[in-house]
Each structure stands twice: as structure tokens, then as C-alpha cells.
Structure 1
Amino acid sequence: MKLAKGAKVALLLGMVFVLSACGVGRAANHDGVYELSFNIQVPSTHQFHKEVVEPWAKEVEEKTDGRVKVNIYNSGALGTLSTAYEDIQGAVYDIGYVSPSLHPDTELFPLSIGDLPFGLSAPSDSTKVLTPFIETYMADTLEDVVPIGVSATDSYQLYSKEPVETVEDVKNQKIIASGYQRVDLVGLWDAVPVTLGLEEIYTSLDRNTVNQATYTSIGAVGLKLFEVAPYMTKIDMGNTALFYLMNKRTFEALPADIQTLFEEELAPSLVKMNSDLYGGASAEAIKVYGDSVAEKDGRVIEPDEEALAEFKKPAKTVWEDWVEMANDKGFDGKEMMEFYKKSLIEAGLSLPY
């Protein structure tokens, strides 16, 4: 049934009102309880929900003596990852995380350095390396948001319908990739990068719309990719930085003591929970994946050093292109890259290029 023009406008305004109600300071009118909306991209069955967001929400309520309640919205109910920064800025929801590489044309661009392939893999290393980077290059540039902290996912692997032993096995294949650095790398492998949302990975593999996908091991188990992709190739492409943010007006609406509590205890706790999950559960997730696909004659493939080097070689160009992109955006790309590499060394990590 077609809606009249006036009804359509009324419906749209109603939807905007509902989404806005999930945002800034809504709970200030609920007997002094501040209800904050936290939008995440995974379902409630995912480990990230069960071991990070849900326990953190309980901790917030406990440590604020019930004055703050965090309402969790799963499966991107309030917005996708591709619009996360704008959504948090506009108070579509109060708390969320962004993947900086999905926002290269915003002030988040500098942080996309943390997603360069074959750089950072462990979430705790991402926190150590990227926190000083944020403080040096981004502290005064963020608008309408308050940083909660930075962590990351576990490292990305390659999931496929057929075995992938060498880089030759990805040529001309359609591969799901997110973040412009991984998209560029897939192209340099002479494959065809396909950008899709998390909710589309399983279906696309199942329907043979794509042949392969890059994703984290924990995420792959959470999405049950082992049902549609019987092979995993462990190449440790690097992780995705997760930059946790709160809407600035939401933060400023909170009582001063709660603001301090977030800054000194709750924000660091969220980052630690994230790092503990993705840093500690990756190996187990890979084992689970291997056990699951074994029933279908699938397996986890670990390329030897020579084969792995061929996957890594083209990524040097992605690092060089990042510097040029930073220069084009008005930054000193060389200086930022030198700072980043110095931070990697100080964190006890080796430089891939």
C-alpha cells in the first residue's frame, strides 16, 4: 500500500525521533538514571557481545551505583560500521566504535595507519602503539566525540571455498575485504576485492557470489563461516583498529564524578576487555574452525615462509601509498610514518618493511 506524501514525512520524522531518543541525555529524565545506547555490529551470540560489551555494561551499572545504564543494540541496529563516526557525532547512539579505515575522508584518517597490512596483529600492541599516535596527531582534531580508547580485533585470515596455498591461488578470485588498505592489497594480489558488510559475508560465500573472504578468526567462528568456507589460510594480515567513542554532548551531560569514573576506570576497562578477548581467544578460534571444517574435509592451511613472503611483498606498496595519501590530505606523511615505526620498535615489534 502506498503512503501519502504527508504520511511518509510523518513516518520519517517519527523514525528520526525514535533514533534520537536513543541518544543524548535521554535518561536524565528517568529518575536520575542516565541510559546510554551502545551500538555494535555483531549479534548477541558473538563473543564480542558476551565477553566484552555485556560485562562492561554490567560494570558501568555497578560502579555508578545504578546511575548509568548501558543499552546494547546488536547487529548494527542503529547504524552500520561504515556510518559509525557520523552516527556517534550526530547522537544517533551514544557509544560505539569506529574502524578508521572506513572513514578515510574524515579526521579519523591518521589512525588508519594502524590497519596497514602485516603491521599490528595483537590488540594490546595496537593500544600501546596507537595511543601515543592519537595524542600526537589527533588530540585536537576530533569533533563532537570523546575518545574512550583504542584497541583492535585479532588478525585477519583468509577464508575460501577451495584451498589457498600460495598467492597464485587468489588471482582472479572475488575476495571480500574491508578497509581501503586490505582492499588495495587484494587488488595487488591480482584478485577482485569486494566490499560488503559483516552481515553479508556468510550469505555471499554460501551463494558463491564471492570465492573468498578476509576476516578475523574470532569473527569467522562467530559468523559460522566454517559452514560455507571449508578452508582457512593463516596469513596474519594484521588487525583492524577499534576506536571507541562517546558522543561529546552525552559525555558532558553526565555528572562530573561519573565523567571522571569513565575517564579513569570504565574506559580503560573496556579497552582491556577488548584486548583480552581478541588477544587471547584467537588461537582457540582457529582450532575451533579447523575442527569444524575437518568434518567436511576442510582444513587450516599454514603457508611456509616462502609462500607467506609472496603474500606480504605487495603490501609494501600499500605502506608507501599511505604516506602519499597523508601528504595529499595536508599531513606530513613521512613524519607520521617515522613516528609510527618508532612506536612499533618501542613496543618490541619488528618492522615488516
Structure 2
Amino acid sequence: MKKSLLGITLLALLAVLSGCASASGSGKAEYVYSFNIQPAATHKFHTDVVAPWAEYVEEQTDGRVKIEIYNSGALGNLATAYEDIEGGLYDIGYVSPSASTSTPAYPLTLGDLPFAILDPMDSPKVLQPFIDEFMQDEFEDSIPLAISATDAYQLITTEPVETVEDVKNKKVIVSGKERVQLVELWGGVPVTLGIEENYQALDRGTVDQTTYTAIGANGFRLFEAAPYLTKVDIGATTLLFLMNERAFDKLPDDLQKQFEEDFGPKLSELNSKMYSEGTADALVQFEKEVADKGGRVIVPEGETLAEFRAPAGQIWEDWVKNAEKKGYDNAQEMMDFFTETLEEQGIDSPVD
């Protein structure tokens, strides 16, 4: 009888200790969320942004929340990211508004307008006020966690591009209506392919050029297939980080508050900082990688650069017309707010 009572006492004590261990983070997580991203685990977006963020969330919640990262678009590609997150295919992900123009994220394509936002550190300063002003009631089955951007897009090419003339009649991979229009106005032939198809298309000669960021180009080793980079700073690509609403609603109030007030801003901070601070190093790395192939980084200046930027005015005007056709009667108001915010943040607009 005494042995039995002792055994019961020990089991009870172990149960209490087990509960304490779980609460302190050494036990099984209460909430496990999937985070789908397009780059591989070797890409800086994984190593410097998503992985540290996942660790931060786990630490700050004492292990109650665990983030499982799925690389290389394992759970879905960027083209369907908005629908996939809303539908619960995965819990957390990011949307490129320019790749999701049939969704409520469309107004954020303003952030992808040519030569608008060049530094990702400026993206949340400009676009978060825009979301607060125009998009508070737009998201039904997802929760906006953070807004950020990539580093500016450049031209990565198989042959050197010194001027706009070197783009004419060349096949150029590009995404987003406004950037497609830019390549057309340069005289190039736009080709729409997924990020993961860039390398193969350049390597096989299916295309001549691609528009992509320096950090991204290094991450996908595009320099092996296209040893020239022309630094024209077309503009950053907006990244809207979303969380499935049902997954968010499962969290107790204290954890919801952490996601809204801490984890979302932290994700934006990590992403913006990595892409902003990594650009210069990425350009140096690209040039180093292509040195033995005769490749180089080309930096247009003066009138040459102005010629690359010249189509911006028409594209910005057309954005308002296209948005109105989509049913946004306040498109001009959105554009005015966007340009005014750029000015308030000390960001030069390419449009007079």
C-alpha cells in the first residue's frame, strides 16, 4: 500500500514537472504554424530573415509557438500565395501584390511602380500608412503581419547592357504589369516566368535578360548563366506578409497581441534590414563571381540613366487608369496619398 501511494505521489510530481517544462519552452509547442517561402534554405531570405524570426517567436513565447519553415515553395508558389494563405494551405507566407492583382492586395502594386521605392527600409514607412488609410477592411480570411520589400530590381544579362538600346528586341524575364510595360517601352520583349525558372532560361538562351535583385541573383547563382548586371534600380518588390485568420484566431489574446505588436514589426524589420544592408555587398559579390568570365557590374549615369527612367511618368499615370478599371473609384486619391507620403519621407519621385 505504501509503495502504491509512493508511486502515485511520484507520478503526480512528474506530471507537475512535465507541465512546468512545457510552459517554460522545453516541452511540446502548443501552436505549430507553417511558413511557406520561395527561396531555398541557403538563400539569405531564409538564413537572415525567416529562420531568425522563427527562433525569435519561439523564444519570446517560451516555446508555446513553433514556426516550421517550408523552403522552395514546397507548399505553394508565389502566384497563388494569397489564395493559399486565405484557404489555410499553410499558415504564414508572403504575397507579391504585383503577382496577385486579382486579390485585395492589388492597391499595394503602387509600391512596385518603377523607380518609386528603391530602399526596402522605406517600404513600411510609405506603405503601412497606405494600408491604414485605405485597406483596413480589405482582408477577410487573412491577417496582415508585416509590409516590407526586396532590394531594388536590376537587369541581369547574358551580354552587357550599357544603354536602353541594348534592351531593344531582347527577351527579358519580368513580372508585374507595370514592369512589363517598362520593358515594352524600352523596346524589349517581356517574358513571364517564375523565379525558379530564371537560371534555366538564361542558361539555355531561351531569354537574353532578366529583371531581379542583386541579392536574389546571387541566391539563385544567376551569375553562372548571365555574367552582367546593369544597376538601373528599377524599384523594390513589395512583400506583404500574411497569416491565415483561422490560425491567428486559435491563439489566446496574449499571443495575438505579441503577433500584432511584436512579431509582425520584427519580421518587417529583419526583412527590410537584410535587403537594405545587403545590396552593396551583393553587387561586390556578383562582380567577384563573374570576374573570370569577363562579366561585370555596369552603372549607368546622367543622361543614360535618365533614358532608362524616362517611361516612369506614363506608367504611373496608367496605374490610376488601370486601378479605376478594376473598380477603384478612389485610385487618384490613392496615388495622391502615395506620392505625398513619398515626399514626406524625403523620397524623390521620378514623376514631376
- TM-score w.r.t. the length of structure 2 is 0.91
Match of 1:340 in 2: 338
1:300-322, Cα deviation, whole Å (9 max, x unpaired)? 00112111111111122111110
The alpha-carbon deviation at position 97 of structure 1 amounts to: 0.4
Alignment of 1:190-201 (within 5 A): 190-201=187-198
Matched position secondary structure for 2:293: coil
Is the 2:115–2:349 Cα contact (8 Å) retained in structure 1? no
Match of 1:81 in 2: 78
Matched position secondary structure for 2:107: helix
The alpha-carbon deviation at position 31 of structure 1 amounts to: 5.6
The alpha-carbon deviation at position 147 of structure 1 amounts to: 0.5
Match of 2:215 in 1: 218
Is the 2:146–2:241 Cα contact (8 Å) retained in structure 1? yes
Q: CA–CA distance in 2 between the matches of 1:54 and 1:141?
A: 29
2:265 is aligned with 1:272: no
Q: CA–CA distance in 1 between the matches of 2:251 and 2:341?
A: 34
Is the 2:312–2:350 Cα contact (8 Å) retained in structure 1? no
1:244 maps to a residue whose letter is F
Alignment of 1:3-22 (within 5 A): none
2:182 is aligned with 1:185: yes
1:10-37, Cα deviation, whole Å (9 max, x unpaired)? xxxxxxxxxxxxxxxxxxxx96621100
Alignment of 1:77-156 (within 5 A): 77-156=74-153
Is the 2:151–2:214 Cα contact (8 Å) retained in structure 1? yes
- TM-score w.r.t. the length of structure 1 is 0.90
Structure 1 residues 259, 299: CA separation in 2 closer, same or farther (over 3 Å shift)?
same
Alignment of 1:142-291 (within 5 A): 142-291=139-288
What is the alpha-carbon root mean square deviation over aligned residues? 1.0
Q: CA–CA distance in 1 between the matches of 2:47 and 2:61?
A: 21
Matched position secondary structure for 2:274: helix
Residue number among 323, 328, 331 corresponding to 2:325 in the alignment: 328
1:335 maps to a residue whose letter is E
Is the 2:29–2:66 Cα contact (8 Å) retained in structure 1? no
Q: CA–CA distance in 2 between the matches of 1:289 and 1:32?
A: 41
2:341 is aligned with 1:352: no
Runs of 5+ in structure 2 lacking a partner? 1-26
1:114-169, Cα deviation, whole Å (9 max, x unpaired)? 00000001111111000010111111111200000100000000011111000000
Is the 2:95–2:241 Cα contact (8 Å) retained in structure 1? yes
Alignment of 1:14-53 (within 5 A): 33-53=30-50
Runs of 4+ in 1 over 2 A off after TM superposition: none
Is the 2:29–2:63 Cα contact (8 Å) retained in structure 1? no
- Look at both structures and tell me which one has the larger radius of gyration over its CA atoms: 2
Q: CA–CA distance in 2 between the matches of 1:53 and 1:105?
A: 27
Residue number among 291, 296, 299 corresponding to 1:299 in the alignment: 296
Runs of 5+ in structure 1 lacking a partner? 1-29
Is the 2:158–2:208 Cα contact (8 Å) retained in structure 1? yes
